[in-house]
Amino acid sequence: DTAVSQTPKYLVTQMGNDKSIKCEQNLGHDTMYWYKQDSKKFLKIMFSYNNKELIINETVPNRFSPKSPDKAHLNLHINSLELGDSAVYFCASSQGQYGTGELFFGEGSRLTVL
Amino acid sequence: AQSVTQLGSHVSVSEGALVLLRCNYSSSVPPYLFWYVQYPNQGLQLLLKYTTGATLVKGINGFEAEFKKSETSFHLTKPSAHMSDAAEYFCAVTPLFSGGYNKLIFGAGTRLAVHP
């Protein structure tokens, strides 16, 4: 039983297209995150939701729009894809929004923009 | 802004040798400190963390790390490397003044290779 699952695992698309990545966690956590890992393996937080409320919104282009329909799901929609959006996007979850720092990560969704 | 520096993007050791992965943070107030591991094509997994208390913390798979405030360091060690330790290792901090959120700031990662 996968604790944090993301779909799709691989996504290849053309510049200008719109795409979505979905994430679900079955750990009963109330906080979920999107992280971006670039080609140099550098990880940066993008968004975080706690009980469907947006609590972290880093300086991410507004082409990226997260949505959390319930506390077990967090989706990421990207409009007008650009070459620089190519990366691995990781979903993560934690119990509580305050800094114990133990996050549970999904396996990642590798996005390639051509 | 807080930052995390991992010295050495690649470390190579022989099986059975000591593993030492270095991490330094920049902060006047010690943050919470973490080591995560990423195996190929997988997500990150928490190895160990320091919040308060004992400065030597033990994690999974025989790893441990020591928080040294005077050196602003949190180096990761393992006495004897195993082939299965080959992975990418990330040091991370949670800034204490980020509103308390789990806003992990990661280092650039260190790839550990273990050869026979």
Residues of B in CB contact (< 8 Å) with A are 32, 34, 41-46, 49, 51, 88, 90, 92, 94, 96, 98, 100-104, 106, 108-109
What's the pLDDT score for residue B3? Answer: 85
- Given B49, B101, B109, which is nearest A97 (Cβ)? B101
CA A92 – CA A43 distance, rounded (Å): 12
Mean pLDDT of A50-62: 87
Q: Residue B45's pLDDT is what?
A: 93
For residues A39 and B82, which has the higher predicted lDDT (pLDDT)?
Answer: B82
Does the beta-carbon distance from B102 to A98 stay under 8 Å?
Answer: yes
What span, in angstroms and rounded, lies between the C-alpha atoms of A54 and B63?
Answer: 35
Four-point Cα dihedral B8, B11, B17, B23, nearest 10:
30
Q: What's the mean pLDDT in A89-114? A: 88
Query: What whole-number distance in Å separates Cα of residue A67 and Cα of residue A76?
Result: 6
Residue B102 reports pLDDT greater than 90: no
Cα B75 from Cα A64, distance rounded (Å):
35
C-alpha distances in angstroms, B18 versus A8, A27, B12, B101? 39, 35, 10, 35
Residue of A nearest to B40 (CA): A107
Give chain A's mean pLDDT: 92
> How many Cβ pairs within 8 Å bridge chains A and B?
74
The larger pLDDT score, comparing residue B31 to residue B62, is at B62
Enter the tokens of residue A7: 């779909």
Mean pLDDT of A50-66: 89
User: In this structure, are strands B87-94 and B105-106 parallel, antiparallel, or unpaired?
Assistant: antiparallel
pLDDT in tens, B41-90: 888 999 999 988 899 999 999 999 999 999 999 999 999 999 999 999 99
Of residues A98, A101, A104, nearest to B104 (C-beta): A101
Query: What are B1-20's pLDDT values in tens digits?
Result: 678 999 999 999 999 999 99
Mean pLDDT, range A72-92, rounded to an integer: 96
- Amino acid A99: pLDDT: 61
Q: Residue A107 is nearest to which of B42, B102, B109, comparing CB atoms?
A: B42
- Say yes or no for a CB contact (<8 Å) between B106 and A44: yes
B99 pLDDT exceeds 70?
A: no
CB contact under 8 A, A42 and B45: no
Q: Which pLDDT value is given to residue B1?
A: 67
pLDDT at B100: 58
Mean pLDDT calculated for residue range A90-94: 94
pLDDT of residue B98: 59
Verify whether the Cβ–Cβ distance B49 to A102 is below 8 Å: yes
B88: which chain A residues are within 8 Å (Cβ-Cβ)?
41
